[in-house]
Structure 1
Amino acid sequence: MPQTAPRHRIRIGATTVTYLPDGAVHADPEVIFPATAARDWTSHRQLLDTNGWLTATVGSFLVRTDSSAALVDLGLGRVNFAVPGVATYQGGRLLASLHAEGLSATDIDLVLFTHLHRDHVGWTSDGMGGLTFPNAWHLVDRAEWDHWQSHTDATGPDLETVLTPLSPIVEFFDARPPEPGLQTIPTPGHTPGHTSVLITDPASETRLLILGDAMHTTAQLTEPHWHFRSDADPALATTHRRVYPVIGVSGVVDQ
């Protein structure tokens, strides 16, 4: 039976990248990958639980150097609900995972969003009108931000807890590039402004790529044409999966 991903650290030179679990999603694979049928999952049975549903861990990536601490994506937030016949969603562990690394919310200097679907922005605000990470710059792709100003979708960011708190302070990758060692790579398709993040360090030749939702499961390593139900442009999303074919289990590429 598949297990959710634990907190895990990778070192690249003097930089550390730590996966911080927030929660998990269990979903009917034939529903979330609408072009598939039961027979298509026969060779991927190891990814399915005893109910035949796909298990996915949702969380954030902590990128630490000697001078800064950044988060890539902000998980599900404190949620526990089900969409009957589709998926269950449970989150709420991100701050505890961060504290286990010896950090608090005020220690985060930078937040990068790969995109603004609800399972990537859950800890944006503190529920009282403020930001969960009050000392951090919050960056996103400009096309992604503009898209959600005029589109209402159940998968998109909540107005009260995400868009409104971010509006006065959000910045865009084209105007304020992330700090050295963090390079944004446009990978639209899942959403109009979806972005992946390449992490490098001058002391190492290793590079890591945080994919966001350019890929949702390792089954797509061999089935890159399988599109996700909420892909805005399935063909474009598939193109980017073919460009980055060597993907780590938790969304990190070691190239």
Structure 2
Amino acid sequence: MTHHLVPSDALIATRRAVLRGAAAVGAGTLAAWAGGTRAAAASHHRTGTVHVVSRHTGPYEVMALLDAHGTFPLPRQEAFPDATDADWVRAERLDPAAFGADGTWELDFRCYAVRRPGGRVTLVDTGIGAAGSPASDWAPVPGRLPSVLQHAGIGRDDVDTVVLTHLHEDHFGWTVDPSGTPMFPGARHVVQRAEIAALDADDSAMSYVVEPLRRAGLLHPVDGRTKVQGRPGCAAVTAVPTPGHTPGHQSVLVDGGGRDGIVITGDVLVHAVQLAAPDVAYRLEDDRATARRTRWALLSEARTRHHVLATAHLNRPFVSP
């Protein structure tokens, strides 16, 4: 489904204001997995799309979970104003499905589950959420993460950790249900303290996610590089600060103990054009210069260590840097 938006430079300071011109789409309720009745709402999903794709590294299974697919409100050239024709040619080779008609940007909205022996799970990001979630202003809600988790054999009590890469509405939508009750009541929710500190008092993330998690005793702020699972010298899951897109953005390194690690990138790169040309800035990055340095550093380390990238918005979940 295509959204239309007339952008204004005066609105860049407020990300949601830029995106709010798109009408909310779709309707639905929670999946049976979450205790409700799931309505049919597939118009924004690609026919035949595989919603769970997995890779292994050491003892970990990393599962890409497709919450939704849609057309971004901004045309791709407006979202990435510095991209050249040559950049777009290289990007289209990497992710042809991102190139819609009339200059549109087609993107996935993806979360990741890291399952370790014994079946316990670290969930990275929670997608766009239900109808009425903060992402409803512009994203193709409702997402389908609850049913995708069910399909992957993951129950809500299997999730003992949720890592939120950052507090944009398309990454925290299923953290709570529409009543504000945490969806994963047995999980600590790992967020960089700098990300929380940067929120305005009226930011939807504060009322929709931070305060409910805080009241439930599930908010787990961290500072800097933090081992989420594992032991020193062994396979581990680690939250790694990757600022720029937001002040407290973090990525997740899943290190199986060999040379086949997986980096869950969050929004360090949101389109293949930033993989083809890392200097290309995204219009809605909080600090473009910092985001550019972060992107180069992440890609350089991934190439040196032969890591695979697990992306949130490219139409391929796992890509080589």
Query: What's the TM-score bracket when you normalise by the shorter of the two chains?
Result: 0.7 to 0.9
TM-score (norm 2): 0.68
Change (3 A) 1:49 1:254: closer
Change (3 A) 1:137 1:53: same
In structure 1, how many angstroms separate the alpha carbons of the residues matched to 2:261 and 2:214? 32
Aligned partners of 2:241 and 2:250 also within 8 Å: yes
1:250 CA drift (Å): 3.2
Corresponding position: 1:21 with 2:96: no
Aligned partners of 1:218 and 1:249 also within 8 Å: no
Aligned partners of 1:207 and 1:253 also within 8 Å: no
Corresponding residue of 1:192? 247
Aligned partners of 1:127 and 1:161 also within 8 Å: no
Corresponding position: 1:172 with 2:221: yes
Identify unmatched segments of 5+ residues in structure 1: none
Corresponding residue of 1:34? 81
Instruction: Give the counterpart of 1:71 among 98, 107, 123.
Output: 123
1:146 CA drift (Å): 1.1
User: Match for 2:291: what amino acid?
Assistant: A
Corresponding residue of 2:178? 127
Which of the two has higher C-alpha Rg?
2
How many residue pairs get matched?
245
Identity %: 30
Q: Deviations over 1:144-185 (max 9, x none)?
A: 01111x3555xxx44432122122331122397411111111
User: Match for 2:237: what amino acid?
Assistant: L
TM-score (norm 1): 0.85
Q: Deviations over 1:70-105 (max 9, x none)?
A: 10011111248887xxx6534411011100111222
Aligned partners of 1:61 and 1:72 also within 8 Å: yes
1:11 CA drift (Å): 0.8
Q: Deviations over 1:40-91 (max 9, x none)?
A: 63554433113431111112100000142110011111248887xxx65344
State the 4+ residue runs in structure 1 displaced beyond 6 angstroms.
80-83
Q: Secondary structure at the match of 2:70?
A: strand
Aligned partners of 1:207 and 1:254 also within 8 Å: no
User: Match for 1:120: what amino acid?
Assistant: H
User: Aligned ranges for residues 78-157 of structure 1 at < 5 Å?
Assistant: 78-79=130-131, 89-148=140-199, 150=200, 152=202, 157=204
1:254 CA drift (Å): 6.0
1:36 CA drift (Å): 3.9
1:24 CA drift (Å): 2.0
User: Match for 2:262: what amino acid?
Assistant: L
Q: Secondary structure at the match of 1:21?
A: strand
Q: Secondary structure at the match of 1:97?
A: helix
Change (3 A) 1:190 1:101: same
In structure 1, how many angstroms separate the alpha carbons of the residues matched to 2:159 and 2:124? 11
User: Match for 2:245: what amino acid?
Assistant: H
Corresponding residue of 1:161? 208
Corresponding position: 1:250 with 2:299: no
1:110 CA drift (Å): 0.5
Change (3 A) 1:127 1:147: same
Change (3 A) 1:120 1:164: same
Corresponding residue of 1:222? 276
Aligned partners of 1:95 and 1:104 also within 8 Å: no
- The structure in which a higher percent of residues are strand is 1
User: Match for 1:14: what amino acid?
Assistant: P
Corresponding residue of 1:233? 287
Corresponding position: 1:211 with 2:268: no
Moved more, 122-131 or 23-32: 23-32
Aligned partners of 1:73 and 1:111 also within 8 Å: yes
Aligned partners of 2:243 and 2:291 also within 8 Å: yes
- The structure in which a higher percent of residues are helix is 2
In structure 2, how many angstroms separate the alpha carbons of the residues matched to 1:36 and 1:136? 40
Moved more, 229-238 or 39-48: 39-48
In structure 2, how many angstroms separate the alpha carbons of the residues matched to 1:165 and 1:73? 16
In structure 1, how many angstroms separate the alpha carbons of the residues matched to 2:113 and 2:91? 29
1:32 CA drift (Å): 1.8
Corresponding residue of 1:7? 52
Aligned partners of 1:24 and 1:91 also within 8 Å: no
